[in-house]
């Protein structure tokens, strides 16, 4: 059963603080329960402030990073030093400022052929979770962003990646961006114990109203298909992003 919470935040700073507190609580609970915390990070720009906060002295010391495994929800098919790389964004905001064993962050090798990168990344997931064939990994936390078109991770409207039911990770070509991406698939995301959307900015107000309000018949937005079967779904949304929803 999906439990859903929507938390309206004054601004990105409050959203990041709430997300950081949640991250720390989930991390420490998971580590007590299983000895480790496995999280998939969101790409894009919104989470930059959260990752910088987690790396700051007030938060950094509260997380046993040697027991944390960092994955990425998706990646652009560019080298790790490319300005569009989600790995580079996390490297700059978080990894460069914390002490975490190299074997604890699992980069998508997006400089490779997209299909090779997807298969390699799927193997990295299978290995850590020690999955039997057909089993799904249960991430302790998956952070997601939201595009104005309702995409999340690299699951875009009308894209075949949305219907992937077997693979954990797929390579996908996004026509409108003329770009190849690698992404976790819907079954993996919906298996997570907790999913937290981080959404900020007036430009997201229309799509937030659609997804958190009444989705008109026939409109099929990828982010609206994020419903963890047995987990918690939390929307951290800034006031400006929620402005049409709250009208
Ligand atoms: C990516 C993300 C993508 C992102 C949204 C929102 O690789 O870009 O995975 O799903 O979260 O596009 O991006 P912003 O946070 O930059 O608005």
CATH number of the domain to which 120 belongs: 3.40.50.1360
Q: Which among 244, 243, 230, 179 is positioned nearest to 11, based on CA atoms? A: 243
Contact in structure between 73 and 107 (CB atoms under 8 Å): no
247 located within any domain: no
Q: Is 44 in the pocket of ligand 1 (CB under 6 A)?
A: yes
CA distances from 16 to 5, 21, 59 (A): 16, 9, 12
To test ligand 1's pocket by mutation, which of 15, 16, 42 has the most ligand atoms within 8 angstroms of CB? 42
7 located within any domain: yes
27 located within any domain: yes
pLDDT value at residue 53: 98
C-alpha–C-alpha distance, residues 80 and 178, integer Å? 19
170 located within any domain: yes
pLDDT interval class at 207 (50, 70, 90): very high
245 located within any domain: no
Q: State in Å: Cα 154 to ligand 1 middle.
A: 8
Mean pLDDT of the chain: 97
132 located within any domain: yes
The alpha-carbon radius of gyration of the chain (Å, integer) is 17
pLDDT value at residue 243: 98
Q: Is 12 in the pocket of ligand 1 (CB under 6 A)?
A: no
pLDDT value at residue 1: 65
Number of domains composing the chain: 1
Share of the chain above pLDDT 70, in %: 99
243 located within any domain: no
Domain range for 18 is 3-238
pLDDT interval class at 203 (50, 70, 90): very high
Does position 148 have pLDDT exceeding 80, yes or no?
Answer: yes
Does position 3 have pLDDT exceeding 90, yes or no?
Answer: no
């Amino acid at each position: 059963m999906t439990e859903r919470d929507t938390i309206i935040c004054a601004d990105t700073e409050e959203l990041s603080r709430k997300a950081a507190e949640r991250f720390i609580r989930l991390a420490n609970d998971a580590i007590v329960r299983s000895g480790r915390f496995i999280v998939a990070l969101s790409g894009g720009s919104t989470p930059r402030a959260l990752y910088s906060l987690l790396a700051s002295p007030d938060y950094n010391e509260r997380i046993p990073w040697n027991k944390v495994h960092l994955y990425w929800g998706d990646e652009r098919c560019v080298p790790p030093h490319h300005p569009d790389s989600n790995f580079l964004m996390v490297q700059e905001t978080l990894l460069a400022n914390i002490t975490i064993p190299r074997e604890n962050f699992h980069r998508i090798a997006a400089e490779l052929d997209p299909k090779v990168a997807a298969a390699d990344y799927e193997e990295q997931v299978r290995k850590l979770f020690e999955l039997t064939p057909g089993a799904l990994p249960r991430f302790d936390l998956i952070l997601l962003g939201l595009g104005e078109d309702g995409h999340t991770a690299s699951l875009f409207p009308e894209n075949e990646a949305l219907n992937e039911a077997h693979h954990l990770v797929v390579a996908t070509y996004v026509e409108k961006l003329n770009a190849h991406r690698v992404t976790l698939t819907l079954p993996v995301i919906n298996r997570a114990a907790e999913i937290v959307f981080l959404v900020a900015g007036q430009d997201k107000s229309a799509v937030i109203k659609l997804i958190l309000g009444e989705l008109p018949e026939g409109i099929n937005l990828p982010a609206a298909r994020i419903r963890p079967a047995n987990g918690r779904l939390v929307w951290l949304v800034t006031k400006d992003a929620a402005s049409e929803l709250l009208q």
